[in-house]
């Protein structure tokens, strides 16, 4: 079973606030990802990282930023939350060695509501 953690699990916040969603994994995985998922919809990639000091934007422009200072930690920051940011945010990681059976492991998610 994968060890990937997200906090907070639920967050209700007012418009304009700055928030940081935390994601940590204890598996030593090089690759980490952030996805956004609206209820009943598919996942959209918003950021990914191949390792320390490596970050890339995904297909969905979410007005968020990420950092990767340590292998195990990949926080996502919204500088100014808006109601359009209301969604579920899923963090994932994978080993990054292109092993045959490599897969992405997902955290439990953070449900964000911006009022």
From candidates 45, 55, 65, 75, binder to another protein by CB under 8 A:
45
Paired tokens of 31: 């690759």
Number of separate helices (H) and strands (E) present in the chain: 0, 11
Q: How far is the CB of 24 from another protein (least distance, A)?
A: 15
Pairing of strands 110-114, 10-13: parallel
Q: How far is the CB of 18 from another protein (least distance, A)?
A: 25
The answer to whether 11 contacts another protein (rule: CB under 8 A) is no
Query: Quick one: which segment of 13-21, 36-44, 62-70, 71-79 binds another protein (CB under 8 A)?
Result: 36-44
Paired with 105 in beta bridges are 93
Q: How far is the CB of 12 from another protein (least distance, A)?
A: 16
The residue with tokens 């998922």 is 37
The answer to whether 98 contacts another protein (rule: CB under 8 A) is yes
The CA distance from 79 to 16, in Å, is: 8
């Amino acid at each position: 079973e994968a060890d990937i953690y997200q906090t907070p699990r639920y967050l209700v916040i007012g418009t304009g606030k700055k928030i940081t969603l935390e994601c940590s994994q204890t598996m030593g995985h090089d690759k980490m990802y952030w996805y956004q998922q609206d209820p009943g919809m598919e996942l959209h990639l918003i950021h990914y990282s191949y390792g320390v000091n490596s970050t890339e934007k995904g297909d969905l422009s979410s007005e968020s930023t990420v950092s990767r200072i340590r292998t195990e930690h990949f926080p996502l920051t919204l500088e100014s939350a808006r109601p359009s940011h209301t969604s579920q945010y899923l963090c994932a990681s994978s080993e990054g060695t292109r092993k045959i059976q490599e897969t992405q492991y997902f955290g439990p998610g953070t449900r964000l509501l911006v009022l």
